[in-house]
Amino acid sequence: MPDPKVCLEALEALTGCQMQPTTEDTQPTPQLTPQDLVNIVALREFYKQEGFKELEYESIGTLSLQDDADMYSSPPALCQAPESSLKPIVKINLQKFFHREFDYDFTNVKDGNQKFLRGNEVYIRPCGWDRAALRVSQQYDGGDQWLGTGKDAWPVSYHGHNMDGSLGIILTRDGNPDDSPQFLEACAASMIREKTSGRGVYSTPDIQLAERYCKLFTSKVDGKRYKVVLQNRINPQSRKSCNRDGLWLVYIPENSTEVKTKAIVQESLRPYGLLLKKA
In the chain, the amino acid numbered 28 is P
The residues near 23 (Cβ < 8 Å, ≥ 6 apart) are 93, 95
- What number of other Cβ atoms are within 10 A of residue 195's Cβ? 8
Q: Is 40 helix (H, G, I), strand (E, B) or coil?
A: helix
Structural domain count of the chain: 1
Which of 167, 147, 117 has its CA nearest to residue 235? 147
Helix 34-49 crosses helix 4-15 at what angle (to 10 degrees)? 30
Q: Tens digits of per-residue pLDDT, 127-140? A: 999 999 999 999 99
Which of 186, 201, 180, 205 has its CA nearest to residue 265? 201
DSSP letter, residue 158: E
State the Cα angle at 32 between 66 and 132, rounded to 5°.
95
- pTM equals 0.84
Q: Tens digits of per-residue pLDDT, 196-255? A: 457 889 999 999 999 998 999 999 999 999 999 999 999 999 998 877 788 899 989 888
State the Cα angle at 239 between 104 and 229, rounded to 5°.
30
User: Are residues 240 and 251 in contact, defined by beta-carbon separation less than 8 angstroms?
Assistant: yes
Average pLDDT, the chain: 83
Range of the domain at 119: 4-275
Q: Per DSSP, what are the bridge partners of residue 233? A: 156, 270
